[in-house]
Amino acid sequence: MSYTLSTSFTETFGVRYPIVQGGMQWVGRAELAAAVSEAGGLGMITALTQPTPADLAKEIERARTLTSKPFGVNLTILPSINPPPYDEYRRVIVDSGITIVETAGSNPEPHMAMFKEHGVRVLHKCTSVRHAVKAEKVGVDGVSIDGFECAGHPGEDDIPGLVLIPAAASKLTIPMIASGGFADGRGLAAALALGADGVNMGTRFMCTTESPIHESIKQVIVDSDERETDLIFRPLRNTARVARNTVSREVVSILNEGGQFEDVRELVAGARGRTVYDLGDPEAGIWTVGMVQGLIHDIPSAGELVERIVAEAKSVLDKAVSRFADPVLLDA
C-alpha cells in the first residue's frame, strides 16, 4: 500500500509534502527555507530576522538562487513601543512576488486586503480554536495551530496538541496544519489521523545542516530531553517556552516573586538571544526551543529530514492499516 500524502494543505499551497518549516527569529534564512522547499516541503524566510525591508528583498532573491520551488515569508506582528515598519515589509513581500505568507502574533485582518489583492495565500499561526475560527472568518487560506508543547508562545490556555488538533479540525473548513511537538514521521502520521492536513516544525529544522545557528547549539538540542525547557512570562500572561538555562531560571524566579517586565528586560533582550545562536554559548541569553527536542537525535540535511519524515509517515500508516484491517477484506 502507498500514499502520496497529498492533502488539502498541499493542494491549496502548491507544495509536494505537508511539511512546513515555520518562521523562526534568527533562524529562518534563505539557505534553510530553500532547502526545505527544494525537498518538497514549504520553507519560510523570517521577515523580521532581516534588519530592514531592503534586506528582506535581498534575502528573498538569495533564496531564489537556491530553489525554484515555492517558499514563503513569515511576518510576525507584535505590539511594541517602537514597532518595525510592518507596512514596508509587507510591501517588499508583495513586490518580490512572494505568494505565501505565514502571519503570526496579532490578528491578520489588517493585512488581508493587500495580500488578497496580490494573490498571496495566507497561513496564520494561532494557539486556540477560537483564534483559528476567527482567522478563517477574516479570510486566511489556512491555519497553523500551536499546541502547548511548542517552542515560543503557546498561548495561555495550556491545551496540548492531542486535544487542540482534533478540536480545531472539527471547527474549520480551511486547511489546518499542526504545530508543536513534531519531529518525525510518527508525528506527521498522528497529526493526519487527528484531522490536521500537515505539520509545522521549528525546533526540528533548527537541527539541520542548513540551519544558520551555531553547531554547538544544535548539539545542545540533540543532547537535551523533553524536560529541559522553561515557561517564562507566565505571571505576565505572555507565556513563552524557551531552553532551560541559568538565564531562564533567573527570569522565572524574578517574576514568580512579583517582579515585572522591567525587572527582566535586560535578561530577555533579543540581542542576547541572538548571541546564543551566533557564538554557540547556550548560557548567553534566552533562546527558543520546544519540548520536541527530546525526539531529536541527529543533525541531517533539511532535504534528508523531509524525505525521512515522509517515508516514515507512510510506513506508520501502512502498518496501522495492516494491523487493524479485516483479514477477510484484505484477502478479497
pLDDT of residue 325: 72
42 domain residue, yes or no: yes
pLDDT of residue 23: 93
The secondary structure of 227-244 as a DSSP string is T-EEEESGGGT--EEEE-
1 domain residue, yes or no: no
Is this model's pTM higher than 0.85 or not? yes
55 domain residue, yes or no: yes
* Summary count for the chain: helices (H), strands (E): 15, 10
pLDDT of residue 162: 97
Residue range of the domain that includes 286? 215-291
Classified as helix, coil or strand, 146 is strand
The enclosing domain of 200 has a CATH number of 3.20.20.70
Same-domain pairing of 63 and 30: yes
> pLDDT digit string (tens) for 250-266?
999 999 999 999 999 99
Kindly state the cell numbers that stand for 287. Answer: 533562546
| Mean per-residue pLDDT, 79-84 | 80
Q: Which of 44, 52, 100, 110 is nearest to 77 (CA)?
A: 110
Q: How far apart, in whole angstroms, are the C-alpha atoms of residue 173 and residue 178?
A: 15
Alpha carbon separation from 86 to 25, 82, 324 (Å, rounded)? 15, 11, 51
What is the share, in percent, of the chain residues with pLDDT greater than 90? 92
Q: Count how many domains the chain has.
A: 2
Same-domain pairing of 164 and 230: no
Same-domain pairing of 49 and 106: yes
> pLDDT digit string (tens) for 272-304?
999 999 999 999 999 999 999 999 999 999 999
pLDDT of residue 330: 56
Residue 1: which pLDDT band, with cuts at 50, 70 and 90? very low
Residue 80: which pLDDT band, with cuts at 50, 70 and 90? confident
Is residue 7 pLDDT above 50, yes or no? yes
> pLDDT digit string (tens) for 174-216?
999 999 999 999 999 999 999 999 999 999 999 999 999 999 9
2 domain residue, yes or no: no
Give the CA-trace dihedral at 139, 140, 141, 143, to 10 degrees.
Answer: -140
